[in-house]
Structure 1
Amino acid sequence: MSKNKMPHKTDKRKTKTDITNAVVNFFNKHSEESFGFKQVAEKLGLKKPAEKQLINNILFDLQEDAFIVETSRGKYKSNNRGMFLEGTFERRSNGKNFFVADDDDQSSHIFIAERNSEHAMNGDRVKIQVLAKRKGRDPEGEVVEILERKQVRFVGTLDVQKQFAFLVMDSKILANDIFIPKENLKGGKDGEKALVEVVEWPKRAKNPIGKVIDVLGQTGNNDTEMNAILAEYGLPYKYPEKVEAAANKIPDDITAEEIAKREDLRSTVTFTIDPRDAKDFDDALSVKQLKNGRWEIGVHIADVTHYVQEGDIIDKEGESRATSIYLVDRTIPMLPERLSNNLCSLRPNEDKLCYSVLFEMDDDANIKKSRIARTVIHSDRRFTYEEVQDILEGAEGDYKEEILKLNDLAKKLRAKRFDNGAIAFDRHEVRFEIDEKGKPLSVYFKYAKDSNKLIEEFMLLANRTVAEFVGNVPKNKKAKTFVYRVHDVPNSEKMENLSEFIRRFGYKIKVDGTKTNVSKSINHLLDEVSGKPEENLISTIAIRAMAKAIYTTANIGHYGLAFEYYTHFTSPIRRYPDMMVHRLLTRYLDGGRSVSKQLYEGKCEHSSSMEQLAASAERASIKYKQVEYMSDKLGQVFDAVISGITEWGLYAEINENKCEGMIPIRDLDDDFYEFDEKNYCLRGRRNKRTYSLGDPIKIKVARTNLERKQLDFALIEE
């Protein structure tokens, strides 16, 4: 054989898989045209007889798989191409990208390869073209247009080189780190945390290009890390100076003209009950015995909208934030502190303007009358929950008689609520004792006691009464647009899963029947597991079966509370929906017309979304402190319970401090484990060993990563 006819060393014989992939890509790219096997072979540069014969076989297989259709004798065309969907792009930490369609039907979860992502980022609204589905394969799609960017700002640590830098992100929700030209660093130094905005992502570029918006500080510093958590969720960590300045201009004094417009309740015994470290007292209770022997109980709420005018600079900032945010060591208020801690706060021994709901009740907590009024009050005493709890447990204290009467009425109201089908999710809250630098010294748990439940019951009553006042109209009348707090019935499939899961612990639950019967069955379950090792686990899974409460103008009632009408009226200092409710209440009490349902539904959706973000940030701050707390306990052994199961490993929660970490599946090296999602377990293929949700185990603290808020455990064999 002559030299020039020798095959090149790198020439490889194409396999059937290679050619099949080439044919699939070819039909995907030419989705509107039909081709015969000779044309396909020619286009792919396949000339050998064996390759041409293989093409014929592949086309037959693809037709069998419904990937292509025969349009005429020997001519084939891509099947089901050209379908476009709009929805949300999701990046996953395991490197897989998915598209979730708006209609959430069977085509809703579609795999998007990185090469087909058009550099879409997590949460972006996109339009995709669905690629033809191959038999036995997951559906795939290709992003053809980014309709709306969800997130263009990211938090991470700066890696600064001589002429450029990268933002190395704490959470891998982008495929690559962000490239930052030197002139866009804004003084950021190597190792500092920064907030960076993506300004461009060229089509052929591996990395997005960004600019530093704000340097948050040195990695590991407590303030830096807390602000980084807020910035990561797109939440504010600073208050605009212009808004603070506007708040500082509001006068302190209450005019005689304003008092004259209101019901004067300053002589009625009134007090507040709040957490020890609270400064924003937005609710107070008053107690007065009437001549007929009944009780007038007043629920008084700070009249924030008297000071904050709709559409002003303070109101716009409050609407944007929608809620106060509670991290482990700080509160980020919705309103400037001048309002939240001063003007509007119902501080003792000061006259304050309120929106009040007043109830005439008998000794059995039956409500005989109620009214809503703009009032002026004067709080006689500021109580902490601990002080009230001491009184309820027998200690002497101020206004003891009034507190005991309120508690008696609250317990009766609570009993009636549960008789009507309310669900009793009383779960503990994780709290940290921290030093002046924010370092966690210990973990403790906060449980709701009678003093907390006393306040809760009267706030629920006021919220329900206000919602009924607007929403509960005669059948021939249409209710005016209002902001409701609703909670849908549980998802039936999740309830079935819950029922199946708890059966292994010996418990039963009703999954169908009347709403009241199902909710009473849930309460019975929660009572049964109380104090048992599996209590926290079963409570958590039961909560996951529940729908999330949201704000909306469409009232469907509140399943968890067993109320047909419910709203949020009692916390306008820290929740914007309550401010909306106050304004609508004022409008309707004054005889005003109904507002735009569409406008207020948009405001409700924003408030619900911000509430979820704030809750996520709060959980992230707890997780950070848990990892920080465990970082000096490497190698220590703890009793734990399996709290989560995924295809990448086991999650375990330490019994004594509720810190949760992961045991990676790669560390379970005694067998090949398979994830059984339905039965919440990992099962060994060979030895059939099973790790199930709720199993008690012993763990050793193996690794801590504060940057990623990750805690890794190693399983200790007994």
Structure 2
Amino acid sequence: MTKEKILKLIEKKPLLQKELYEKLKAKKKEEKKIIREILKELQEDGEIYKNSKNKLCTLGKNMKIGIIEFTRRGSMAFVTTKKGEEIAITLEHVKDAMHKDIVLIEIIGNWRDLPKGKVLRVLKRGITKVVGIFEQKKLFGFVLPIDQKINTDFYVSPENFNKAKPGQIVEAEIIKYTQKNPEVKITKIIGNVNDPKVDLPIVIIKHDLPEPGVFPENVMKEALAIPQEVQSKDLKGRKDFRNEIIVTIDGDNAKDFDDAVQVKKLKNGNYLLGVHIADVSHYVKENSNLDKEAFKRGTSVYLIDTVIPMLPHELSDWICSLVEGEDRLTMSLLMEIDKNGEVVNFNVYNGVINSKKRLTYNKVNKLLNNDMDEKLEKEIGWLRPNLELMKELMEIIRENRRRRGAILDIEGGEVQFIFDENGNVKDIVPIERGISEVIIEEFMIKANETIASIFDSQGLPFIYRIHEEPDPDMLLQLKNYLEIMGLKYKFPKNIHPKLLQDMLEHLKDHPLRKSIQKLLVRSLKRAIYSDLNVGHFGLASQNYTHFTSPIRRYPDLIVHRLLKKYLKNKGTLKRKEIEKYTELLPEIASHSSKRERVANEAEWDLTDMKKVEYIMNHIGKTFEVYITNITKFGMFVEIPDKFIQGLIHVSSMDDYYIYNEKQNVLIGERTKKIYKLGDKLKAKVINANKLTIEIDFEIIEKEDEEVKKLKEKYPNAKIKIKKNKKNKKR
């Protein structure tokens, strides 16, 4: 009763499940159970599906099964198969499919550089609940989804209102799927639109994330059964680093400490860098409930001051976390690094450490910048020689990466929100990276590269972090963007990341540097997980993985498992393990990449909502902005430092503006005024919508500035402005 035999029977003729039992002469419960499990696996792998008559079928020619996902504005959809293939679906071919549905599609042609398909059938619905605004129309109501990827509104009958009032944000469960306006019942009233407390639940429901800190009962049962102290039996076969000066360096509010570091100067002049990573795989066993839940989540999600962890707090904040003064199990990598930043020798161990100090980026930066007060000197001054040695090694490693052409200077445009006592955003300040953040970044990159090189050199199955070379069309857009700003750079056909790094260094003092960085990031492909190693373009690295954060990333946990097997088998993997992981890793990589994307989108959404919340308290206020993008319908502008973007629509401007696509400028028909990328303007906030994450600005003309001065001079006077009729908006 094998998978192959079942497939052959279904290939011959579509069969009902009971017909399959008859063909296989399965009468016992155990036999039927095995068949059901095989069928479930085949359906999950996209090899078979059930048709409208509930018969099991194999895929026909040019047919695929995958998850459909709509773009942010719902204007296009893409289907991703389990093997990671991507198929474009235009709106006329989506049928009744909704965002996240599992669909059967047929390939019908090409769309740009992707296959183009049409939806034949929805096999399984992906969304069971929605979050949106409740609107009532006489006797019935509608839920208008906040997620613009969902391409329909939802009908609510009167008995399913659940006391919701028009305009409130609600959670609704889908009770009937129809091609137009599926029916829902309201299950929870989240709150009013402008209440800051509704933002987090909106994002959680929108992205189908688990409730923070909530895990299934069977997962918690396993977590609570794990001892909260390292057991003596756990130390068997481990290298003891407990007497070494090993420290953690993290953010002020961090609770889970994945990594700890140490640096020594060797007698030969080289450096010994120790990177000790929490041994999560010792506690999270393969195929356990903890493991299955961690795989499902894929990653921890960081939503400003709320964390949705991949593992329960009992593990992530305690027994797996490298807490100061506590014995902790680790996977320990010791690297000997020469004065050129090259790893000349390394060893990996199952280890045990006892962190000597929980340091923060802020405190280490103060020490290294000689900005210490007496209290801080007393607390961490004794670590000065160690930390200065870390800085010394960091500069050597970083220079090594600079020489090979890695892109070093891209900043994320991250901000910190300052909240008032009611939870409203009071201010937004940019997060600047200090020396300590760079130290940890460089040490982790070196560790990840070293671990990846072990498996790549032997051709063993592994999960890599890859970053493909950029799309030439996207680089052409970047080149054109720079030329419009008067910046000329040569972009060869086969581009090396060093060229981009040199460009960033040249633009170090440019007022639009951060906008250029953002466009550069958009020009590059997205880094993903893969079982095939194509290198990491941005890091200019031939081998790269994620080994350093197993508390919060599932791929790192897999890397640890493979590493343990490698060490146990004295530098290789068993044949059965090679076969097993060769089959498993493509799915793990694909799923982990998807979960990372979901986490990123949730984080971006909440951040953007909070930015709009801030600007909603500044409607009518004038800001200095830069033009970051120009379209035929207007100009996108950004408030520097706060990284808040909005639109100046052409309809709000003082003339009829014509879009010159070649030069990417707007030209006034009458005034001949030209607006181009990089221009600095004064613009007033005129509208903001937190749910659609949209902000509208209008240009403040000199006349408005004069009016402002007059009002300040004559506060009680009525000032009327007479406009020339020719200046009327068109």
How far off is 1:347 after superposition? Answer: 1.1
> What is residue 428 of structure 2 aligned with on the other side?
443
Give the 3-state SS of the residue equivalent to 1:608 in structure 2: helix
1:481 aligned residue (430, 441, 461):
461
Give the 3-state SS of the residue equivalent to 2:382 in structure 1: coil
Matched, 1:335 2:320: no
Say if 1:126 and 1:148, in contact at 8 Å, map to a contact too.
no
> What is residue 547 of structure 2 aligned with on the other side?
569
Q: Distance in 1 between matches of 2:552 and 2:339?
A: 33
Change over 3 Å in CA distance of 1:656–1:272 after alignment to 2: closer
How far off is 1:340 after superposition? Answer: 1.1
How far off is 1:433 after superposition? Answer: 1.2
Counterpart residue identity of residue 551, structure 1: Y
Give the 3-state SS of the residue equivalent to 2:540 in structure 1: coil
Counterpart residue identity of residue 339, structure 1: L
> What is residue 129 of structure 2 aligned with on the other side?
153
Give the 3-state SS of the residue equivalent to 2:226 in structure 1: coil
1:189-228 pair list within 5 angstroms? 191-203=167-179, 206-212=180-186, 214-228=188-202
Give the 3-state SS of the residue equivalent to 1:399 in structure 2: helix
> What is residue 120 of structure 1 aligned with on the other side?
97
Q: Distance in 2 between matches of 1:674 and 1:88?
A: 38
Matched, 1:425 2:412: no
CA RMSD of aligned residues (A): 3.2
Give the 3-state SS of the residue equivalent to 1:609 in structure 2: helix
- Is the deviation greater in 267-276 or in 497-506? 497-506
Q: Distance in 1 between matches of 2:320 and 2:467?
A: 30
Change over 3 Å in CA distance of 1:402–1:514 after alignment to 2: farther
Change over 3 Å in CA distance of 1:603–1:383 after alignment to 2: same
How far off is 1:319 after superposition? Answer: 1.1
> What is residue 233 of structure 1 aligned with on the other side?
207
Count of aligned pairs: 615
1:519 aligned residue (494, 497, 511):
497
Give a deviation string over 1:51-91, Cα, whole Å, max 9, x none. xxxxxxxxxxxxxxxxxxxxxxxxxxxxxxx9999988776
> What is residue 69 of structure 1 aligned with on the other side?
none
Matched, 1:501 2:490: no
> What is residue 549 of structure 1 aligned with on the other side?
527
Change over 3 Å in CA distance of 1:632–1:351 after alignment to 2: same
2:223 aligned residue (239, 247, 255):
247
> What is residue 509 of structure 2 aligned with on the other side?
531
Give a deviation string over 1:274-303, Cα, whole Å, max 9, x none. 111111111001234455554432100011
> What is residue 294 of structure 2 aligned with on the other side?
318
Q: Distance in 2 between matches of 1:353 and 1:276?
A: 23
1:716 aligned residue (700, 706, 730):
700
Give a deviation string over 1:586-640, Cα, whole Å, max 9, x none. 1222223313324211111111111111111111111111111111211111110
> What is residue 490 of structure 1 aligned with on the other side?
470
Change over 3 Å in CA distance of 1:354–1:497 after alignment to 2: same
Q: Distance in 2 between matches of 1:597 and 1:167?
A: 45
- Is the deviation greater in 141-150 or in 436-445? 141-150
Change over 3 Å in CA distance of 1:343–1:679 after alignment to 2: farther
> What is residue 685 of structure 2 aligned with on the other side?
701
Q: Distance in 2 between matches of 1:350 and 1:100?
A: 47
Counterpart residue identity of residue 320, structure 2: C
> What is residue 608 of structure 2 aligned with on the other side?
623
1:41-440 pair list within 5 angstroms? 112-113=91-92, 118-122=95-99, 124=101, 125=103, 127=105, 144-146=120-122, 149-159=125-135, 164-184=140-160, 191-203=167-179, 206-212=180-186, 214-238=188-212, 239-242=214-217, 243-290=219-266, 294-363=270-339, 365-394=341-370, 395=372, 397-427=381-411, 428-440=413-425
Q: Distance in 2 between matches of 1:563 and 1:255?
A: 39
Change over 3 Å in CA distance of 1:683–1:175 after alignment to 2: farther
Give the 3-state SS of the residue equivalent to 2:249 in structure 1: strand
Q: Distance in 2 between matches of 1:129 and 1:364?
A: 52
Change over 3 Å in CA distance of 1:547–1:679 after alignment to 2: farther
- Is the deviation greater in 288-297 or in 362-371? 288-297
Say if 1:328 and 1:622, in contact at 8 Å, map to a contact too.
yes
How far off is 1:680 after superposition? Answer: 4.0
Give the 3-state SS of the residue equivalent to 1:704 in structure 2: strand
Q: Where do 5+ consecutive residues of structure 1 fail to align?
A: 1-81, 132-139, 474-478
> What is residue 6 of structure 2 aligned with on the other side?
none
Say if 2:472 and 2:493, in contact at 8 Å, map to a contact too.
no
Change over 3 Å in CA distance of 1:418–1:363 after alignment to 2: closer
Please give the TM-score of this superposition, normalised by the length of structure 2. 0.77
How far off is 1:584 after superposition? Answer: 1.2
1:652 aligned residue (617, 620, 637):
637
How far off is 1:438 after superposition? Answer: 2.5
Q: Distance in 1 between matches of 2:156 and 2:249?
A: 51
Give the 3-state SS of the residue equivalent to 2:292 in structure 1: helix
Give the 3-state SS of the residue equivalent to 1:533 in structure 2: coil
Q: Distance in 2 between matches of 1:460 and 1:376?
A: 22
Please give the TM-score of this superposition, normalised by the length of structure 1. 0.78
Give a deviation string over 1:96-127, Cα, whole Å, max 9, x none. 5667899xxxx9877545xx753332455464
- Is the deviation greater in 613-622 or in 221-230? 221-230
Say if 1:641 and 1:652, in contact at 8 Å, map to a contact too.
yes
Say if 2:631 and 2:659, in contact at 8 Å, map to a contact too.
no
| Structure of larger gyration radius | 1
Give the 3-state SS of the residue equivalent to 1:157 in structure 2: strand
Change over 3 Å in CA distance of 1:606–1:663 after alignment to 2: same
Counterpart residue identity of residue 121, structure 1: M
Say if 1:112 and 1:142, in contact at 8 Å, map to a contact too.
no
Counterpart residue identity of residue 413, structure 1: I
Say if 1:641 and 1:696, in contact at 8 Å, map to a contact too.
yes
How far off is 1:174 after superposition? Answer: 4.3
Give the 3-state SS of the residue equivalent to 1:472 in structure 2: helix
Q: Distance in 1 between matches of 2:87 and 2:182?
A: 28
Counterpart residue identity of residue 469, structure 2: V
> What is residue 40 of structure 2 aligned with on the other side?
none
Give the 3-state SS of the residue equivalent to 1:398 in structure 2: helix
Q: Distance in 1 between matches of 2:565 and 2:176?
A: 47
Say if 1:157 and 1:194, in contact at 8 Å, map to a contact too.
yes
Counterpart residue identity of residue 439, structure 1: N
2:624 aligned residue (622, 639, 642):
639
Counterpart residue identity of residue 208, structure 1: P
How far off is 1:472 after superposition? Answer: 1.2
**Runs in 1 of length 4+ with deviation above 6 angstroms?**
82-90, 92-95, 98-102, 107-110, 128-131
Say if 1:537 and 1:694, in contact at 8 Å, map to a contact too.
no
Say if 1:577 and 1:607, in contact at 8 Å, map to a contact too.
yes
Q: Where do 5+ consecutive residues of structure 2 fail to align?
A: 1-60, 110-115, 703-730
